[in-house]
Structure 1
Amino acid sequence: MPITDWPLDERPREKLLQRGAAALSDPELLAIFLRVGVTGMSAVDLARVLLIRFGSLNGLFAASRQDFGDVLGMGDAKYAQLQAVLEMARRALGEELQRGSALDSPTAVRNYLGLLLRNRPNEVFVALFLDSGHHLLATAELSHGTVNETRVYPRELAKKALAVNATAVIVAHNHPSGRTTPSTADITLTHQLRDGLNLLEIKLLDHFLVAGHQVISFAELGIFS
């Protein structure tokens, strides 16, 4: 049955307008993005197919252009729209960090890093450079590694921090395996980065690990003590 034949209060778009976006399920939200289904499937049915195929919304956002296009009814136009939605979300969170202190917005920091690093196939190491009020100045990807390793050099981090006149830094990397425990190498690197930045009177505020749906703070784990 096409969505136009559904009761008004069950149609995703009308439901969103009446009750807010939080009231919708993942398939319903995705159906609004898709707008139309394909022969034999409503937009909600097609949304369910996509979520089953890629496992979750995060999996869908991380899908390659080819894998996305392999689904009936999907193509370059929809892929471009999906990537644009994801990039707008990243930029909106980045603007939030520019306006307010990162220390006052821990949820925004976690969400921003999750969007940057979740579902990346290889380890990626990023840095957030902050001013004296802990507002975001710049974000940089410092290293791309293998499935389970990436190399980061303290000198490179310090060079980029000085280039943007940062007084504080937050770093983060992902574990594509989903392993939520920092490795010995992760902890050693954190101490090296902290000590190297301290020499320049730049403070390393935290190191985050993005693993699956979790964003883990090294500071909260006591690794900085």
Structure 2
Amino acid sequence: MAIRDWPEGERPREKLMSLGPAALSDAELLAIFLRVGVKGRSAVDLARDLLSSFGGLRPLLEADRARFCAEHGLGDASFVQLQAVLEMSRRHLASQLTRGDALTSPSLVRAFLASKLRHLGHEEFAVMFLDSQHRVIHFESLFRGTLDSASVYPREVARRALALGAGATILAHNHPSGVAEPSDADRRITQRLKAALELFEIRVLDHFVVGDGEVVSFAERGWL
């Protein structure tokens, strides 16, 4: 049965307009993005098939072009549209941070860092530079690869902080393994950076480790 023949309260678009997006399932949200199904399958049926094939919404959203376009019912046009939607979401999170004090919303900081780092297949170390009132000046990825005490350079972080006129920083990096638990090396890197930046009266407010389903805060654990 085509979606237009469903009861109005069960159609994804009408349901979203009456109840809001949070009321929809992953398949219903994806169906709205897809707009149409394929022969013999409605958009919702196709969405369910795709979620099953990819193993969930997140793997689908993070799939590369070849994997995404290999699925029946998808293609370059859908891939391009999805990348635009994801980038708009990331920029929306970034604009929310730059409009105010990032530290008044730890959940927003977590969401922003996860959107930037969670999908990467390699380790990446980034810094959020803040002014003396803890407003965001700039977010920048500085190091990538296997992160250890020899591959993260405090002098480079300090140089960028001074160039940007930062008074504080929030450090962040991801664990491609998906496990957000900080390692001993993570703690050593944090202490080296904290000591180096303190020489210039620049504070390290937190260090977030981004995993598959969790973002761990050093500050919340009392490690800073």
Settle same-fold status: TM greater than 0.5. yes
Provide the alpha-carbon RMSD of the alignment.
1.3
The residue correspondences of 1:23-102 to structure 2 (distance < 5 A) are 23-102=23-102
For residues 99-138 of structure 1, what are the alpha-carbon distances to aligned partners after superposition, in whole Å with 9 as ceiling and x for unaligned? 1211101010000011111121111111111112212111
Partners in 2 of 1:109 and 1:130 — Cα distance?
Answer: 12
Structure-2 residue corresponding to 1:138: 138
Further displaced range: 172-181 or 206-215: 172-181
Work out whether residues 114 and 210 of structure 2, in 8 Å CA contact, stay in contact via their aligned partners in 1: yes
SS at match of 1:67: helix
For residues 137-161 of structure 1, what are the alpha-carbon distances to aligned partners after superposition, in whole Å with 9 as ceiling and x for unaligned? 1111112214xx4632111111111
Work out whether residues 194 and 203 of structure 2, in 8 Å CA contact, stay in contact via their aligned partners in 1: yes
Unaligned runs of 5+ in 2: none
For residues 37-83 of structure 1, what are the alpha-carbon distances to aligned partners after superposition, in whole Å with 9 as ceiling and x for unaligned? 11122111221222223223222221101100111121111111111
SS at match of 2:215: strand
Work out whether residues 94 and 136 of structure 1, in 8 Å CA contact, stay in contact via their aligned partners in 2: no
Partners in 2 of 1:218 and 1:136 — Cα distance?
Answer: 19
Amino acid at match of 2:167: T
- Stretches of 4+ moved more than 4 A in 1? none
The residue correspondences of 1:151-170 to structure 2 (distance < 5 A) are 151-170=151-170
Work out whether residues 168 and 202 of structure 1, in 8 Å CA contact, stay in contact via their aligned partners in 2: yes
Partners in 2 of 1:105 and 1:113 — Cα distance?
Answer: 13
Share of identical aligned residues, percent? 55
Amino acid at match of 1:167: G
Amino acid at match of 1:209: V
SS at match of 1:36: coil
Q: TM-score, normalised by structure 1?
A: 0.94
- Count of matched residue positions in the alignment of Structure 1 and Structure 2: 222
Partners in 2 of 1:174 and 1:14 — Cα distance?
Answer: 38
Partners in 2 of 1:48 and 1:87 — Cα distance?
Answer: 24
Partners in 1 of 2:7 and 2:57 — Cα distance?
Answer: 26
Q: TM-score, normalised by structure 2?
A: 0.95
Work out whether residues 174 and 180 of structure 2, in 8 Å CA contact, stay in contact via their aligned partners in 1: no
Partners in 2 of 1:97 and 1:155 — Cα distance?
Answer: 26
Unaligned runs of 5+ in 1: none
Amino acid at match of 1:137: I
Structure-2 residue corresponding to 1:218: 218
Partners in 2 of 1:99 and 1:62 — Cα distance?
Answer: 28
For residues 18-40 of structure 1, what are the alpha-carbon distances to aligned partners after superposition, in whole Å with 9 as ceiling and x for unaligned? 11111111111111111111112
